[in-house]
Amino acid sequence: MIIFGTKGYLYQLAILTLVCGQCGNPAAHTLRKRVTKFTLFFVPLFPISTKYLTQCTFCGAEQKVTGEQAEQLQSQSTSGTSGQTHGQPQQHDRF
């Protein structure tokens, strides 16, 4: 018997102040990286997909961004402020 599946990891990369495209408010947005890994016997082996997104803290709307845009936003946040601390990944199991 072989047990396999996927496991999701969510990393918070930065907190940015942006104007939300959904509600139009200038609010804090979290820049997140979502990595889905293939697991074999509950051991994560390799990443299947990597997605970047921003989420408005005012209305909760999420917007997908590319990897290049995420790097630019992250570099802007660290150069413009004293630097944000990186959170621990949150794990989401899917079978």
Section 12-18 average pLDDT: 91
Section 59-76 average pLDDT: 90
According to the model, what pLDDT value does residue 51 have? 95
Tens of pLDDT, residue by residue over 68-90, are 999 998 888 776 544 444 444 44
Contacts of 54 (CB under 8 A, 6+ apart): 16, 18, 29, 30, 31, 32, 62, 63, 65, 73
d(CA 6, CA 53): 20
Q: Inform me whether the pLDDT recorded for 16 exceeds 80.
A: yes
According to the model, what pLDDT value does residue 93 have? 52
According to the model, what pLDDT value does residue 21 have? 86
Section 55-63 average pLDDT: 91
